[in-house]
Amino acid sequence: MDVIATIQEMQERSDKLRAAGRTIALVPTMGFLHEGHLELMRAGKQHADELIISIFVNPTQFGPGEDVDRYPRDTKGDLQKARSVGVDVVFMPSAEEMYPDRFQTRVQVEDLPHHLCGLSRPGHFDGVATVVAKLFNITRPHLAVFGQKDYQQLAVISRMVMDLNMDIRILGVPTVREPDGLAMSSRNSYLSPEERRSALGLKKSIDLANELLRTGERRAKTITDAVRSLILSHPFTDIDYVALCDPVTLETLDALEEETLLALAVRVGKTRLIDNCLLRKASDQ
Amino acid sequence: MDVIATIQEMQERSDKLRAAGRTIALVPTMGFLHEGHLELMRAGKQHADELIISIFVNPTQFGPGEDVDRYPRDTKGDLQKARSVGVDVVFMPSAEEMYPDRFQTRVQVEDLPHHLCGLSRPGHFDGVATVVAKLFNITRPHLAVFGQKDYQQLAVISRMVMDLNMDIRILGVPTVREPDGLAMSSRNSYLSPEERRSALGLKKSIDLANELLRTGERRAKTITDAVRSLILSHPFTDIDYVALCDPVTLETLDALEEETLLALAVRVGKTRLIDNCLLRKASDQ
């Protein structure tokens, strides 16, 4: 496994791989890898000859109140984990390498960020789209893998790829959960043991929504009210949003469609957690 | 020479060319080709194995007051001219092919458009950067060729390519002029014979600025005043801007540097014309 820090070296490596007819999968990460990331990597490995991951805590996707310096890091552990799943190349640039003086270009998906997390994190998805566009041009993948846990991010990136005609397949991988149901996230490391217990309310509320759906409930308000109550019945919780929305446009729905996205963002103590689920009417769900 | 209308076919063609080890030059145009465009194509031909041009009147770079439908077109003449300089592929998509329903991604260079043409054409350079990013992903060139006449456009695209790490060389080609000095432009076709004479004021004022520089003048205001007076001494003229600025940042300068960009935008009748020149202090200029 090679670790590459410069853009030029990474581009040369990818060019060489492509020229040799090798297919490339990219898994972009901000490091502090957990089983969710490793699952993305296994999926990438399965669909391409070469697996590149990037580890870069991207400053431009953090807002003014969000402390990029506080984001957890563990380079040594990350490299061990990457090696264990057969990563071929780790691209790990510095912030100066990615954003030199006079940097001033932004890739902006315009409508999708006006929903869900975009509302409380202005500029976040511009930062995500821009850095991912850069990483795509640097690593030149045939396939890029993202977690469905960050549903809106996956939607924004898929839209960008379509709109800008990037010839890259985007693969979304289902959320990996702890045995008790908590969606894996690097941010879970911030939780105290008590907060960790309260955080289970997210997955429980998703299960409740599915149960209501199964019993015939179709009114969005009834479901979101139930979800809210269940989450808030746990201490330390503060709801950012509970939304039922169109899985493509992310627009809020009043009544459930064939497929409806239930998306949640909840502060548990000071830690903001997200989770989501595609609610499907079909009887086989 | 092949004419390709769909994105998919164009991408497949470019992939095939690249896989065969051929280098690709792209000349993006809005059609109504003149000698200036053909010069870009000759430069492209000289530096690459395969020459692709695009002909696409991009609606997103026209502002509300600028009539995209009025932009001159001559597809038959364009194809003849393209053939005459040895173009290999003409990519000529429809607006629907380039901007399907739900299209919503914008590439935005942030600082450079806050000068010169960007001030009177808000959103113009976003439209340019976005369509060029798309064309790059569709035609996958090693080299792309632009005219120095559209200096700010060249600066914006060069910045985008650097910032987004696109592995594409940008080549700027000197402005081609009519025998009497008028910079070639598709928009010259709008000019009446009288306006056509007045339009010569642009090049004459550039010559005057160079003459002032040669005689030791360094004050920006003195030079721009002289340029303005000369232009306005011609009937039908109305100045949008006359600027002396840093050739990299496009920021206005009070005194001339080693290299200073003189940039002009002038309405002659209803037609907006631009021209520019790099003023160089060096004695060998």
Interface touch B108/A109, C-beta < 8 Å = no
CB A147 within 8 A of CB A185: no
* CATH number among 3.30.1300.10, 1.10.287.110, 3.20.190.10, 3.40.309.10, domain A186-274: 3.30.1300.10
Residue spans of beta strands (DSSP E) within chain B: 2-4, 24-29, 50-55, 89-91, 105-109, 143-147, 169-173, 237-245, 259-268, 271-280
Min Cα distance A46 → chain B (Å) is 23
Q: Which of the residues A165, A168, A170 would you substitute to probe the B interface, choosing the one with the greatest number of B C-beta atoms within 10 Å?
A: A165
Min Cα distance A5 → chain B (Å) is 14
**Which residues of chain A does CATH 3.30.1300.10 include?**
186-274
Q: With bands split at pLDDT 50, 70 and 90, how would you rate the model's confidence at A283?
A: low
Residue A284: pLDDT above 80? no
Give B222-254 as a DSSP string: HHHHHHHHHHHTSTTEEEEEEEEE-TTT--B-S
Interface touch B106/A111, C-beta < 8 Å = no
Closest-approach residue (CA) in chain A for B11: A167
Interface touch B137/A167, C-beta < 8 Å = yes
What is the mean predicted confidence (pLDDT) over B1-19? 97
Give me the residue label for tokens 């972009």.
A28
- Give dist(CA A87, CA A90) in Å, integer: 7
Share of chain A above pLDDT 90, in %: 96
Residue B283: pLDDT above 80? no
Q: Which of the residues A97, A131, A159, A163 would you substitute to probe the B interface, choosing the one with the greatest number of B C-beta atoms within 10 Å?
A: A163
Residue A203: pLDDT above 90? yes
Residue A66: pLDDT above 90? no
pLDDT digits (tens, 9 = 90+) for B262-281: 999 999 999 999 999 999 98
User: Number of A:B CB contacts under 8 A?
Assistant: 80
Total residue count of chain B as it appears in this document? 285
Please check whether residue B164 touches A, CB under 8 A.
Answer: yes
Residue A148: pLDDT above 90? yes
**Alpha-carbon A200 to chain mean position:** 19
What is the mean predicted confidence (pLDDT) over A249-269? 97
Interface touch A105/B164, C-beta < 8 Å = yes
CB B261 within 8 A of CB B279: yes
- Residues facing residue A266 across a β-bridge: A239, A273
| Cα atoms in the Cβ-side hemisphere of radius 13 Å centred on A227 | 30
What is the mean predicted confidence (pLDDT) over A232-239? 98
| Inter-CA distances, A215 with A218, A219, A243, A252, B98, Å | 9, 12, 20, 22, 45
- Give dist(CA A135, CA A28) in Å, integer: 8
According to the model, what pLDDT value does residue B95 have? Answer: 97
What is the mean predicted confidence (pLDDT) over B120-127? 96
Residues 6 or more apart whose Cβ sits within 8 Å of residue A128: A58, A61, A153, A156, A157
Q: Which of the residues A107, A139, A157, A158 would you substitute to probe the B interface, choosing the one with the greatest number of B C-beta atoms within 10 Å?
A: A107
Residues 6 or more apart whose Cβ sits within 8 Å of residue B4: B10, B13, B89, B90, B91, B92
**Alpha-carbon A156 to chain mean position:** 10
Interface touch B138/A112, C-beta < 8 Å = no
**Counting beta carbons within 10 angstroms of the beta carbon of residue A278, is it exposed (0 to 12), middle (13 to 18) or buried (19 or more)?**
middle
Min Cα distance A13 → chain B (Å) is 13
Please check whether residue A8 touches B, CB under 8 A.
Answer: no
According to the model, what pLDDT value does residue B223 have? Answer: 98
Interface touch B160/A105, C-beta < 8 Å = yes
CB A8 within 8 A of CB A139: no
Q: Which helix or strand (DSSP H or E) is residue A193 part of?
A: helix A193-198
Residue A85: pLDDT above 70? yes
What is the mean predicted confidence (pLDDT) over A52-74? 93
**Reported ipTM exceeds the 0.90 cut:** yes
Query: Which of A105, A107, A110 is nearest residue B159 as measured by Cβ atoms?
Result: A105
Give me the residue label for tokens 């792309």.
B144
Beta-carbon neighbour count of residue A8 at 10 Å? 12
pTM: 0.96
Q: Which CATH class name applies to B2-173?
A: alpha beta
B111: helix, coil or strand?
Answer: coil
Residue B29: pLDDT above 60? yes
Residue type, A164: L
CB A182 within 8 A of CB A196: yes
- CATH 3.30.1300.10: does it fit domain B186-277? yes
Query: Which of A7, A109, A249 is nearest residue B105 as measured by Cβ atoms?
Result: A109
User: Which residue, B37, B44, B19, B3, is CA-closest to B169?
Assistant: B44
**Which residues of chain B does CATH 3.40.50.620 include?**
2-173
Please check whether residue A12 touches B, CB under 8 A.
Answer: no
Residue A168: pLDDT above 70? yes
Interface touch B103/A163, C-beta < 8 Å = yes
| Inter-CA distances, A113 with A133, A169, B172, Å | 16, 21, 36
Average predicted confidence (pLDDT) for chain A:
96
Residue A267: pLDDT above 50? yes
Please check whether residue A68 touches B, CB under 8 A.
Answer: no
User: Which residue, B151, B171, B155, is CA-closest to B163?
Assistant: B155
Residues 6 or more apart whose Cβ sits within 8 Å of residue B259: B247, B278, B279, B280, B281
Interface touch B106/A103, C-beta < 8 Å = no
Active site residues of A: 37
pLDDT digits (tens, 9 = 90+) for B210-219: 999 999 999 9
**Which residues of chain B does CATH 3.30.1300.10 include?**
186-277
Query: Which of B11, B107, B112 is nearest residue A107 as measured by Cβ atoms?
Result: B107
Residues 6 or more apart whose Cβ sits within 8 Å of residue B48: B23, B24, B25, B141, B142, B143
Interface touch A7/B165, C-beta < 8 Å = yes
Please check whether residue A167 touches B, CB under 8 A.
Answer: yes
- Residue A33 DSSP code: -
pLDDT digits (tens, 9 = 90+) for B153-204: 999 999 999 999 999 999 999 999 999 999 999 999 999 999 999 999 999 9
Q: Which residues of A touch B163 (CB under 8 A)?
A: 103-105, 134
Q: Which residues of A touch B137 (CB under 8 A)?
A: 164-167
Q: With bands split at pLDDT 50, 70 and 90, how would you rate the model's confidence at B24?
A: very high
CB B116 within 8 A of CB B239: no
According to the model, what pLDDT value does residue B284 have? Answer: 46
What is the mean predicted confidence (pLDDT) over A71-76? 96
What is the mean predicted confidence (pLDDT) over A257-261? 96
Average predicted confidence (pLDDT) for chain B:
96
Residue A285: pLDDT above 50? no
User: Which residue, A237, A240, A241, A278, is CA-closest to A256?
Assistant: A278
Residue B259: pLDDT above 80? yes
CA dihedral A215, A221, A222, A224 (to 10 degrees): 90
- Give dist(CA B64, CA B60) in Å, integer: 10
- Residue A5 DSSP code: -
- Give dist(CA B93, CA B74) in Å, integer: 15
According to the model, what pLDDT value does residue B285 have? Answer: 43
